């Protein structure tokens, strides 16, 4: 009879202490199952200081050669479920948890293993602390959420701000802890390791190039640029200069959205045949906003398009056979746009509006069932998997903390520290594809006015 052992951990910055513990757990039986905590589970426990994402941590555990099976821990109470599911004989954990898991003795033997003295993830993290100094470029509505969200994430220090409107920068600084205010962008770029760009769309490209020229990492608000070739050029320029360039699409880094994408890709609703995504905001009463100025790339598509495009490219890829666009125009900007993609084995559509209100749902249709995410799906905290037999339907609930920027900020800092030029949550090719869609819209390619 095979004796099964299970253990759990974050396994961040995998070190000799982890390996020793895994080796001791392995010696207790014949088959070792290792549970690695999910990113969302770590966040719920306040661990936004984790340096490596869950995929990196899983691969690190596998690379030790000690685990016979690696699973992901995603929710409180899962240990009991796993012990029963895998017919576990022994639950093993480090001695610093003595007594904390005695409740599991009802289900299996619980053994507290001695830890390696003098080494821990917390200690290693402290010793290798690399605080990234970040400056903010652009002090408008969007940027106002950044300082408080960044304060939740370890390893980042927001140090200064710049805006072409110096008075706006002064007001922003006073409202966010008296940050250093710069009159010259070059001076800010000399003093920081990274920048967050939250300026109007058309200024992004020039600002990104300037920051890269100073060897500064860039987190740029979405849409990053409105031209596919320019997006590709900027990513190549960033990597050749050894800096991280990342598009700040908060939905791409939302824990629940990422969990949904992983589940869909695993086949829980079969093959994806259709995706419908929509997003609208009725701002029509305030025409003075930049979003209604054609000279500043205003309109629904540029302002909102990146979000509904995200699930489409994540699940169907970046090579559609065709895209048709349908827009309702007024005063030089689109108040509403619908796009319809044709892929080799699927279709998809998106709707965005600043002057037309839509339902705002995300529906992903498959050959076995469908996923339903109610509005506001771009701030996903709940979704359902629905099937022909309603007894199989499942509901999933998650936390959406604050304004949601902390998730993208944490990933940005992690990319910088781990020297990763791309994030799996929003690949560079996906950002390039979305920029190309924006360019097609700008050039009225397959665009029909309604």
Instruction: Look at residue 449 in the predicted model and tell me its pLDDT.
Output: 94
Please tell me whether the peptide bond between 223 and the residue prior to it is cis, using omega within 30 degrees of 0.
Answer: yes
How many CA atoms lie within 13 Å of 142's alpha carbon, on the beta-carbon side?
20
**Mean pLDDT (whole number) for 37-58:** 65
> Domains of the chain by range and CATH?
4-121 (3.40.50.620), 126-251 (3.40.50.720), 263-399 (3.30.360.10)
- Predicted confidence at residue 45, as pLDDT, reads 47
CB atoms within 10 A of CB 334: 27
Model confidence at 362, in pLDDT bands (50, 70, 90)? very high
Average pLDDT of every residue of the chain: 91
Compute the distance between CA of residue 347 and CA of residue 361 in angstroms, rounded to an integer: 17
Looking at residue 68, what is its pLDDT? 96
Burial class of residue 239 in the structure, from the number of CB atoms within 10 Å of its CB (0-12 exposed, 13-18 middle, 19+ buried): middle
Query: Is the model more confident about 96 or about 311?
Result: 311
Place of tokens 């409105």: 226
Residue 359 is predicted with a pLDDT of: 87
Q: What is the DSSP letter of 114?
A: P
**Percent of the chain clearing pLDDT 90 (strictly above):** 73
The per-residue pLDDT for 236 is 98
C-alpha 87/C-alpha 407 separation (Å) is 35
Q: Is the pLDDT assigned to residue 119 strictly greater than 70? A: no
**N residues, the chain:** 450
Judge whether 269 and 371 are in contact, CB under 8 Å. Answer: yes
Kindly tell me if the per-residue pLDDT of 285 is higher than 70: no
Residue 445 CB partners (closer than 8 Å, separation 6+): 323, 325
Q: Is the model's pTM score more than 0.85?
A: no
């Amino acid at each position: 009879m095979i004796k099964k052992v299970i253990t759990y951990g974050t396994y961040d910055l995998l070190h000799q202490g982890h390996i020793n513990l895994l080796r001791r757990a392995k010696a207790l039986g014949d088959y070792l199952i290792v549970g690695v905590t999910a990113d969302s589970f770590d966040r719920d426990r306040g661990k936004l200081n984790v340096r490596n994402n869950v995929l990196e941590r899983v691969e690190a555990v596998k690379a030790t050669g000690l685990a016979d099976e690696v699973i992901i821990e995603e929710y409180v109470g899962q240990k009991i479920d796993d012990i029963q599911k895998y017919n576990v004989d022994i639950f093993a954990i480090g001695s610093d948890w003595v007594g904390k898991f005695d409740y599991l003795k009802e289900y299996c033997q619980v053994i507290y293993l001695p830890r390696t003295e003098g080494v821990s993830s917390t200690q290693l993290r402290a010793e290798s602390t690399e605080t990234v100094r970040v400056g903010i470029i652009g002090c408008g509505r969007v940027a106002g959420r950044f300082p408080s969200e960044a304060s939740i994430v370890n390893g980042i220090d927001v140090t200064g701000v710049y805006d072409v409107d110096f008075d706006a920068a002064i007001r922003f600084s006073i409202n966010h802890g008296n940050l250093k205010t710069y009159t010259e962008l070059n001076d800010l770029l000399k003093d920081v390791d990274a920048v967050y760009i939250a300026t109007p769309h058309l200024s992004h490209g020039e600002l990104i190039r300037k920051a890269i020229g100073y060897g500064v990492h860039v987190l740029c608000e979405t849409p990053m640029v409105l031209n596919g070739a320019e997006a590709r050029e900027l990513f190549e320029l960033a990597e050749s200069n050894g800096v991280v360039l990342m598009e700040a699409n908060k939905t791409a880094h939302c824990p629940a959205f990422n969990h949904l994408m992983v589940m869909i890709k695993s086949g829980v609703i079969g093959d994806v045949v259709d995706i419908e995504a929509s997003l609208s905001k009725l701002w029509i009463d305030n025409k003075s906003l930049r979003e209604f100025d054609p000279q500043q790339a205003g309109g629904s598509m540029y302002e909102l398009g990146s979000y509904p495009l995200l699930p489409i490219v994540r699940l169907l890829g970046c090579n559609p056979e065709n895209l048709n666009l349908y827009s309702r125009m007024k005063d030089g900007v689109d108040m509403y746009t619908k796009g319809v993609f044709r892929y080799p084995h699927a279709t998809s559509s998106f709707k965005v509006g600043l002057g037309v209100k839509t339902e705002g749902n995300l529906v992903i249709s498959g050959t076995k069932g469908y996923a339903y995410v109610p509005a506001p799906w771009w701030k996903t905290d709940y979704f359902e998997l629905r099937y022909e037999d309603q007894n199989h339907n499942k509901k999933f609930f998650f936390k959406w903390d604050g304004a949601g920027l902390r998730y993208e900020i944490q990933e940005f800092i992690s990319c910088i520290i781990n020297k990763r030029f791309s994030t799996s949550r929003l690949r560079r090719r996906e950002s390039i594809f979305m920029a190309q869609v924006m360019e097609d819209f700008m050039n009225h390619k397959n665009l029909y006015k309604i």
